Amino acid sequence: MIRDDGWDGLMKTCLLTLLSLLVASSSSAQLPYTEKQLISYAKSIDVKTLDHSLASQRLEDWLQSGPPHARIGWSMEDTCDLKPVSDSTDYPLCTRIGFSRNGQGGFFLVQVGTTRTGIVGPPQLYGAIDVFEGVLVSTGYAERLSDLPALLDQPAVTGGVQKLYEEIVAHHPIGIPTGTEMAAIRPYLSKRLYEQLQTAQACQDDYKGQHPTPRGTSKPPGWKSGLFSGEGSHASPVAALVARKEKQNDGSYLVYAELEPLEAIIDRAHGPRAFYGGYTWQVVARVISENGQFMVDDVRIFDRFPAEGPSRLLSDSFAGCDHSHWTGQAAENK
């Protein structure tokens, strides 16, 4: 057998050339940083370089052990939340720092370099620091790192309202809740509102005694709606979501919740539910601090979104009662 050394040499040369091209291509595509390197660098940043009003301290230590006393998480944000439009653009390179404490949470970005050059230049805050309760309810925002602790010190006030309306969606109480319905919502009601509902229940019982029916199910006029949500289809909301809050001068908060009625649902062949727009209406719960927790003390129910126009206050719903006795006078004079 005759061996063609020239052909073998040519093949070897081609293979070596191809291999070198692949290695070169891989090297050129390799980023000048890793997520681990970025996060390690961000943790060690001196907070004084980000906010000159702060004393020198590692960023990680300041967030965990300093005034924020927060739980934190780190990740790479390779374009600082910008939407890339060109592969040739040298975008800012950021680390995203998430934080949470006592029901408040959020994140901020620290720019540490650029996507093409990696870690370079002095680090700086990139945009504002946003703080939320849950997902949607804004507590506020800060332009400086030193303002973050004060935002985290704000009480979380909306959780009770969200849970209350999740129970309203689940049970759809009509009139004064009783039994399991009342047991489900009692943890979120203030002492005053709970006692008012109990007094109203006694008044309703007195009304039944004055207006007996074969089934004993009579209720005073106007007491057959959803006290916490509204009349008609609004008595049976299928979804509820707390959207915002407003602090009042007396220390209470107004918490706005958006509700959806049954007719807003689109049935996608028994798949995920979606909602038509334009059906939402709002309720505004007043919450007060009671034994270290924020409890619902009253609710104003509006007919539509946003919270303006005709409305009624839950605590004004028991016209005709004189404490636990039914007189009917207020209902007749209304």
CB neighbourhood size of 66 (10 A): 18
Q: Report yes or no on 8 lying in a domain.
A: no
- Structural domain for 140, as ranges: 35-152
69 and 134 co-located in one domain: yes
Domain count, the chain: 2
Q: Report yes or no on 27 lying in a domain.
A: no
Residue 149's SS3 state is helix
198 and 266 co-located in one domain: yes
Output the pLDDT for position 30. 64
148 and 167 co-located in one domain: no
Output the pLDDT for position 278. 57
Output the pLDDT for position 262. 79
Q: Report yes or no on 6 lying in a domain.
A: no
Residue where a domain terminates, one of 95, 127, 152: 152
- Per run of 10 residues, the mean pLDDT along the chain (length 334 residues) is 48 49 45 90 97 97 96 94 82 96 95 93 95 89 95 94 96 92 97 96 89 72 82 89 94 94 62 56 95 96 79 89 84 45
Q: Report yes or no on 15 lying in a domain.
A: no
Output the pLDDT for position 219. 75
pTM for the structure as a whole: 0.76
Q: Report yes or no on 11 lying in a domain.
A: no
186 and 269 co-located in one domain: yes
Output the pLDDT for position 1. 43
163 and 146 co-located in one domain: no
DSSP assignment letter at 58: B
176 and 44 co-located in one domain: no
108 and 178 co-located in one domain: no
Output the pLDDT for position 168. 96
Q: Which amino acid makes up residue 23?
A: V
Radius of gyration of the chain (CA): 31
Residue where a domain terminates, one of 152, 185, 214: 152
The dihedral sign for the CA sequence 135, 140, 144, 149: negative
215 and 75 co-located in one domain: no
How do 325-326 and 321-322 pair as beta strands?
A: antiparallel
121 and 164 co-located in one domain: no
Does residue 326 contact residue 193 with C-beta atoms inside 8 Å?
Answer: no
DSSP assignment letter at 55: P
Output the pLDDT for position 264. 67
CA gap 92, 79 in Å, rounded = 5
Provide the residue count of the chain.
334
